[in-house]
């Protein structure tokens, strides 16, 4: 144990997790001694807790010994990791993600390594993959999956890579083939959200046609919704959220609350925590 990771029990849960999360994010690792994937994930989490040097705290809970805490979080499979911020669970994943997957999960929530000298292993390892083109990453992962078809984490990586090069149908098929512990983790849920947005555009008009429709009829809510989807998937995230917020303000109940549903789904895909926080506050003010 270090200053950045500790064992948690019912006795210190409130102080070391809930109260501590008001100052820094807390990552809870629910594990058990008999769980082989837990043993695979443990050194990854401990390594990152040290490397991130206070950017988050790792709290390890033995589910067999602390059944009340496991029950409070509805833990049904191990390992399960839950992220707590400001006294509230905000996200999580199940299964032993590879180190790259855990890093992506942390990054998505704005949790980054502490400033200072980089970890030596990270400095050596960085890169080739960071410089990979989407096509090269896809080819590498296809070869890796062919060589190791039983490695489910590689298939999840492949699904993400397929989506990055526009192969939405292939990504959906790969995602559907994953076992339950991976199909429900954070990366898989994020990819499923991207696929849902991509599906909405399957037969949608081009952006210029949508713009013409909106100019002709500002109450063409379907066109405004599809324009926002195109903007989101095209990288104009702020503009997309503005579109849906305006639609929510004007036509809150349109299409069974479509604007609210789109906003919630878009929040889950965003890496911009500040933008999402601002949009959430505006959505709440419109709804309540």
To which H or E segment does residue 181 belong?
helix 180-183
Place of tokens 């809970």: 61
| CA 69 to each of CA 10, 29, 60, 153: distance values in angstroms, whole numbers, following the listed order | 7, 12, 11, 28
Distance CA 37, CA 30 (A): 11
Q: What are residue 5's DSSP bridge partners?
A: 2, 58
Cβ neighbors of 84 (< 8 A, separation 6 or more) are 17, 18, 21, 25, 26, 27, 28, 90
* Known catalytic residue at 38: yes
Q: One of 35, 159, 229, 232 is an active-site residue; which one?
A: 35
Radius of gyration of the chain (CA): 21
* Known catalytic residue at 175: no
Cβ neighbors of 248 (< 8 A, separation 6 or more) are 259, 260, 263, 283, 286, 287
Residue 198 tokens, joined: 């991509």
Q: One of 38, 97, 102, 269 is an active-site residue; which one?
A: 38
Residues involved in catalysis = 35, 38
């Amino acid at each position: 144990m270090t200053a950045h990771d500790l064992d948690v029990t019912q006795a210190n849960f409130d102080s070391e997790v809930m109260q501590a999360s008001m100052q820094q994010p807390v990552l809870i690792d629910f594990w058990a001694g008999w769980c082989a994937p837990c043993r695979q994930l443990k050194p990854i989490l401990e390594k990152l807790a040290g490397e991130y040097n206070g950017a988050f705290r790792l709290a390890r809970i033995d589910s067999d010994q602390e059944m009340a805490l496991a029950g409070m979080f509805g833990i049904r499979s191990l390992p399960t990791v839950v992220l707590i911020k400001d006294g509230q669970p905000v996200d999580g994943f199940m299964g032993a993600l590879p180190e790259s997957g855990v890093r992506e999960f942390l990054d998505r929530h704005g949790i980054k390594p502490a400033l200072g000298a980089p970890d030596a292993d990270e400095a050596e390892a960085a890169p080739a993959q960071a410089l990979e083109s989407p096509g090269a990453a896809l080819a590498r992962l296809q070869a890796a999956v062919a060589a190791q078809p039983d490695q489910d984490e590689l298939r999840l990586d492949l699904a993400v890579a397929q989506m990055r090069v526009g192969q939405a149908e292939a990504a959906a098929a790969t995602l559907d083939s994953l076992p339950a512990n991976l199909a429900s983790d954070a990366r898989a849920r994020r990819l499923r959200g991207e696929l849902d947005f991509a599906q909405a555009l399957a037969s949608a008009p081009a952006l210029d046609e949508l713009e013409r429709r909106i100019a002709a009829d500002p109450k063409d809510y379907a066109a405004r919704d599809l324009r926002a989807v195109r903007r989101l998937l095209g990288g104009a995230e702020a503009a997309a959220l503005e579109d849906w917020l305006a639609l929510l303000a004007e036509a809150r109940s349109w299409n069974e609350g479509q604007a609210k549903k789109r906003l919630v789904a878009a929040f889950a895909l965003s890496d911009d925590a500040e933008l999402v926080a601002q949009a959430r506050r505006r959505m709440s003010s419109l709804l309540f």
